[in-house]
Amino acid sequence: IFNPRLSVPEFYQHVATLLDVRKWETKSELLIELGRALEARHSRGLRTVLIVDEAQGLSPHVLEEIRLLSNFESNTAKHLQIVLTGQPELREVLNNPDLRQLKQRVALRCVIQPLPNVEETERYITSRLLVAGAETLDIFSAEAVDYIYRCSAGIPRNVNNLCDNALLAGYSAGEAIIGPELIEEVAVTFDMLPTPDRAVQTGEVKEAPAPIFSSSSRAELWAAGTGAKENEPELDLPMPVEH
- CB under 8 Å to 21, separation ≥6 — which residues? 15, 30, 33, 34, 37
Residue 37 to residues 20, 29, 43, 87, Cα–Cα distance (Å):
8, 12, 10, 31
- The yes-or-no verdict on residue 48 having pLDDT over 90 is yes
Q: Which of 43, 56, 122 is nearest to 88 (CA)?
A: 56
pLDDT at residue 210, as a whole number: 42
Residues 6+ apart with CB under 8 A from 154: 114, 115, 116, 117, 120, 121, 202
pTM, full prediction: 0.64
User: Does an H or E element contain 218, and which?
Assistant: helix 215-226
Q: Which residues contact 114 (CB under 8 A, 6 or more apart)?
A: 153, 154, 155, 156, 201, 202
The Cα 176–Cα 172 span in angstroms is: 10
Distance between alpha carbon 170 and the CA centroid of its chain, in Å? 24
Pinpoint the alpha helices (H) of 81-195.
Answer: 89-94, 100-105, 118-132, 142-152, 156-173, 180-189
Q: Is the pLDDT of residue 215 over 80?
A: no
The stretch 25-36 carries a mean pLDDT of 92
Cα(185)–Cα(215) distance, integer angstroms: 26
- Residues in a beta bridge with 23: none
Is residue 241 within 8 A of residue 167, CB to CB? The reply is yes
Give tens-digit pLDDT for 116-139: 999 999 999 999 999 999 988 899
